[in-house]
Every structure is written in C-alpha cells, then in structure tokens.
Structure 1
Amino acid sequence: MQQNKTVVRRWMDAGNDREFGRFDELFTADTVDHVSGNTGIAWWKEVFGWIGASFPDWQWTGSVMIAEDDLVMVKADLTGSHQGSRLPFLSGIEPTGIPIVWRHFHLFRLENELIAEHWASRDDLGVLRQLGAR
C-alpha cells in the first residue's frame, strides 16, 4: 500500500514539476479516467496542459492520503493564478489574475504499482465563485 501512495505522490510531483513525460512511468497504457470517460496516458498530458494554460503557476498540495488494497485516495488542493481559460469549465471567462484554491478528491486504482483507473470530485463551482463568475 505504501508503494501505491508513492506512485500517487510521484503523479502530483510530476505535475508540480511540469514533467508530464513522467506520466509514461506512472500509468498503465490503457488507464481509464472515469471523470471524462477517456483512456490512455495522452489524455492526462492534455488535461495537465489545460491546467498549465489556465493557471501557469499552479501547485498541488496533498493534505490527506489514504491507501487500502489497490486503492489510494488523496485530498488535494491546487493553487494558482487565473491566467487563461483552457479548462472546459472556464470557457468564456477572461483571465482575471485572481489566485484560486481548487479543492479535489482523487481516487486511484493501481495495478502493479501503476495507475489503472481514476475517479475524482472537484470543486469547479468554488473556482468559478473565486473568479467572480455568476
């Protein structure tokens, strides 16, 4: 279980370091993102590119991580300043420069110490409120 937590920490670190090529070492080739319904590592690289285009100074912090069997749950906050709106839920919102805290819960299922499946609950509405959207 500790090894699986280490994999999820490495996922967060790869994002913080903007080294999305490291995802090739962290995910199964056919990894499934149940949030979007997409599969594959290229999807993860695309999403993290959207995050970077929207919040170029973003950083993950994980405050709680729990592992059991092949599952890892992490409560994570993403902080950053709104400099673009590449993320779909930000579509049409002009960059504000406002710093945000974007709260997430992620659940990962791992196979052989690789991320095979992902589910998440994100506070997108909270980000929109922080940006002054109505």
Structure 2
Amino acid sequence: MEQNKTVVRRWVEAGNDRKLEVFDELFTADTVDHVSGNAGIAWWKEVFSWIGESFPDWQWTGPVLIAEHDLVTVKLDLTGSHQGSRLPFLSGIEPAGTPIIWRHFHLFRLENGLIAEHWASRDDLGVLRQLGAR
C-alpha cells in the first residue's frame, strides 16, 4: 500500500513541478479516467495543460493520502490565480487574476504499481463562485 501511495504522491509532485513526462512512468497505457470517460496518458497531459493555461501559477497543496488494497485516495486543494479559461467549466469567464482554492478528492486504482483507473470529486461550483459567476 505504501508503494501505491508513493505513485500517487509522484503524480502530485509531477503536477506541481510541471513535469508531465513523468506521467509516462505513473499510468498504464490504457488508464481510464471515469470522470471524463477518456483513456490514455495523453488525456492526462492534456488536462494538466488546460489547468496550466487557466491557472499558470497553480499548485497542489495539503495532500492527504489513504491507501487500502489497490486503491489510493487523495484529498488536496489546487491554489492559483485565474489567467485563462481553457478548462471547459470556465468557458465564458473572463480571467482577472482572481486567486482561487479548488478542492479535490481523487480515487486511483493501481495495477502492478501503475495508475489504471481514476475517479474524482471536485468543487467546480466553488471555483465559479470565487470567480464571481452567477
């Protein structure tokens, strides 16, 4: 279980360090993101590039990891300032540099030390409220 937590911790660090090439070492080739219905490592790189375009100074903060069998869950916050609206749920919102805290819970299923499946719950509505959306 500690090995699986280490993989998810590396996912957090790779995002914070903008080292998306590390995803090639963390995910199975056919990894499934159940949030979007997409599969593959390229999808993860695309999503993280959208986050970077929307919040160029973003960082994961306060990660708390819990592991059981082949599952790891992580609770963490994304902090940053709104500089773009590349993420689909931000469409139509003009960036004004507003700082945000975006709360996340992620659940990963690992297979042979690699992330094979992902589910998440994110507070997108909270971000929209922070940005003044009505």
TM bucket normalised to smaller: over 0.9
Structure 1 counterpart of 2:70: 70
How much has 1:125 moved relative to structure 2? 0.2
Gaps of 5+ in 2: none
Are 1:62 and 1:74, in contact at CA under 8 Å, matched by a contact in 2?
no
1:33-112 alignment runs, 5 A limit:
33-112=33-112
Q: Deviations over 1:45-101 (max 9, x none)?
A: 000000000000000024321000000000010000000000000001110101000
- TM-score, structure 2 normalization: 0.99
Q: Identity rate of aligned residues, in percent?
A: 86
Runs of 4+ in 1 over 4 A off after TM superposition: none
- SS in structure 1 opposite 2:50? helix
Q: CA RMSD in A?
A: 0.6
Whichever residue aligns with residue 55 of structure 1, its letter is: F
Whichever residue aligns with residue 43 of structure 1, its letter is: W
Give the aligned length.
134
- Paired with 1:65 and 1:124, the residues of 2 have a C-alpha distance of 21
Structure 1 counterpart of 2:122: 122
- TM-score, structure 1 normalization: 0.99
- Paired with 1:77 and 1:55, the residues of 2 have a C-alpha distance of 13
- SS in structure 2 opposite 1:4? helix
Q: Deviations over 1:86-123 (max 9, x none)?
A: 00000011101010000000000000110000000000
Are 1:31 and 1:41, in contact at CA under 8 Å, matched by a contact in 2?
yes
1:7-46 alignment runs, 5 A limit:
7-46=7-46
